[in-house]
Structures are given as structure tokens and as C-alpha cells.
Amino acid sequence: MRIGVIGCGNMASAVVIGIHKSNPEVEFLTYTPSQVRAKNLAQEVKGAVVSSLQDFEKVDYLMIACKPQQFSSLAKELEGLDLSKLTLVSIMAAVPIEKIQMALKSKNVIRLMPSMPMQVEEGISLLLASDGLQKEKMADFSELLKGSSVIFECKSETEFNQLTVLTASGPAYVYYLAEIFEKQLLDWGVDKDAAKQLAIQLFKGSSLFMEASTLSLNDQIAQVTSKKGVTIEAIDLFRSSSIGQNIKTGVERAFQRSLEIEKAIESEIR
């Protein structure tokens, strides 16, 4: 199997590296205008850098991982190429399948939204297929992702965009919370390296315990707290100061931003 990759940024690299770890037989052809990041990624997965977009006419899947705002200009560069027999895999946020089909004149499209932990085989991959895409094509590509991520197939563009701001953006939220705890440890005089290690282990151990437990998340909170104890003091303050609601509001704002980008893209591709 051959997979072409246009755009070799962080998200695309996470996908490619994740696939390569569990499917070393897959051949990757990478491309970026400057070729710098394309070369770096190709070296990491024993792939090849291509200098011409025409080389992608012979791949099985063509992964498009440019920024949404760059898609219109990329589509113009791809004009004249026959992409109708390929399965296009878009890692672009806020660009609907219909717009990709229209711009690239291909009916076979999969939207993929990965998460960075795919690089350590602990990611999440959202998938949404265009109507009429062969089930075998979707199944084969989904199989490539299973070694590095949990797969969730979305039912609509709206669901895909909503989940994106949680599963793909979510690691940034987790890192932000971990940084808060790291700073608290530093304030108490803990060594910098130790503070980071403790903050990371807090999330790592808690995540593994959440996965292993049969209790609801609310019941797991209750397991760690006791009436008039130490931990409940922090939990009560978190709840009374609406931290949970503020986080939900932040996620909703991220979703609204994706809708704004989508509208801007629609005005460019008509």
C-alpha cells in the first residue's frame, strides 16, 4: 500500500508515525513546498520525498494535511491531476467533505481527525466517510489506525466537528491542567524536573485507574474524597467556582471557531 502525504506538520506526522509503527510495510510519499519537513518525516518512516504533485496519482490514499486556510490554493495546484481513483483522506479541520469533493473532483473522501498521542500508540482517530465510499476502502484505512488509536466513526459533519474540539484539541487542555499542577509544585519548592515528572505521573496513573475501574467517574471522585477531609476542600471549591462550566464554555468556543473557519472556507470554494 502507498500513502501520499501533502503537508507534514504535527498532526500529519502523528498519523504517519502511528501507522508506520504497526504497519511498517506501508510506503509513504511525503510532500511540502520547502521539502524540509517532508524529508524529516520520510526519514523517520523510511519513506520517500516527492518533488512533484503528479507523483500522487499512483498512490492508494492521498492524505491532505495542509491548514484549512491553504486548501483553496492547494486545490488550484492539484488541478489537472486525476484524483478520481484515489481515496482522499483529509486531516483539515472545518473543511466539509462536499467542499473537498467539489474542489478536487473526487467522490472518495474520508475525513480523519487524529490526536497527538497517536505517536505513542494512545491516540483517538475520528473518521467520517463520504456517501458511496467503498466499505473496503474505509475498513482498510481504519485497520491502519487501530494500532495507534481508538477509532470512532462519526455519523455527520456536525458530530465530527464537535468531537474534534474535544478529542484532537483535548490534549492541549490536559497539558494546560498538568502545567497548573507543575507550577504549584514549583511554588512549594519542588525541583523543576521532579515537578514535571510528578504532574505527568498524576495524569498517567489516574488515566490508567479510570480505565481499569468499573465505577462511574463521579463515583471515582467519591473514592478519593471524604466528608470534611482534605481532598473535598479542593473539589468543593472547583465546583462552586464553576471550573467545570468554564471548561465546557471553552470547548464550545472552540467549536464556534471551527464554524467560523468553515464559513470562510465555503466562501473561497464555490
Domain hosting residue 27, numbered range: 2-167
Contacts of residue 151, Cβ cutoff 8 Å, sequence gap at least 6: 125, 127, 142, 145
Q: Residue 147 in contact with residue 18, Cβ under 8 Å?
A: yes
Residue 212 lies in a domain: yes
Task: Note the pLDDT of residue 263.
Answer: 87
Q: Which three cell numbers stand for residue 100?
A: 473537498
Residue 266 lies in a domain: no
Task: Note the pLDDT of residue 264.
Answer: 86
Task: Note the pLDDT of residue 181.
Answer: 98
Of the three residues 167, 183, 201, the one that is the final residue of a domain is: 167
**Are 209 and 78 in a shared domain?**
no
Q: Angle CA(161)–CA(116)–CA(130) in degrees, nearest 5?
A: 35
Task: Note the pLDDT of residue 266.
Answer: 77
Q: What is the domain-level CATH number for residue 149? A: 3.40.50.720
Regions of the chain where pLDDT drops below 70:
270
**Are 117 and 234 in a shared domain?**
no
**Are 15 and 104 in a shared domain?**
yes
Long-range contacts of 260-264 (CB under 8 A, 24+ apart): 261/68, 261/69, 261/93, 261/94, 262/94, 262/95, 262/96, 262/161, 264/69
Residue 45 lies in a domain: yes
Of the three residues 107, 140, 167, the one that is the final residue of a domain is: 167
Residue 264 lies in a domain: no
**Are 136 and 28 in a shared domain?**
yes
Residue 270 lies in a domain: no
Residue 74 lies in a domain: yes
**Are 14 and 123 in a shared domain?**
yes
**Are 228 and 195 in a shared domain?**
yes
**Are 58 and 153 in a shared domain?**
yes
What is the C-alpha to C-alpha distance for residues 194 and 199, in angstroms, rounded to an integer? 9
Q: Residue 40 in contact with residue 143, Cβ under 8 Å?
A: no
Task: Note the pLDDT of residue 82.
Answer: 92
pLDDT digits (tens, 9 = 90+) for 67-109: 998 999 999 999 989 999 999 999 999 999 999 999 999 999 9
Residue 69 lies in a domain: yes
Of the three residues 120, 149, 167, the one that is the final residue of a domain is: 167
Task: Note the pLDDT of residue 270.
Answer: 65
Give the number of domains in the chain: 2
Nearest to 59 by CA among 70, 47, 71: 47
Task: Note the pLDDT of residue 262.
Answer: 87
Classify each residue of 107-130 as buried b or exposed e, where b means 16 or more C-beta atoms within 10 Å of its C-beta: ebbbbbbbbbbbbeeebbbbbbbb
Q: What is the domain-level CATH number for residue 220? A: 1.10.3730.10
Nearest to 105 by CA among 127, 128, 88, 125: 88
What is the C-alpha to C-alpha distance for residues 215 and 111, in angstroms, rounded to an integer? 34
**Are 126 and 249 in a shared domain?**
no
**Are 187 and 149 in a shared domain?**
no
**Are 125 and 40 in a shared domain?**
yes
**Are 41 and 125 in a shared domain?**
yes
Contacts of residue 144, Cβ cutoff 8 Å, sequence gap at least 6: 19, 22, 23, 26
**DSSP-based three-state secondary structure for 112:** strand
Contacts of residue 217, Cβ cutoff 8 Å, sequence gap at least 6: 210
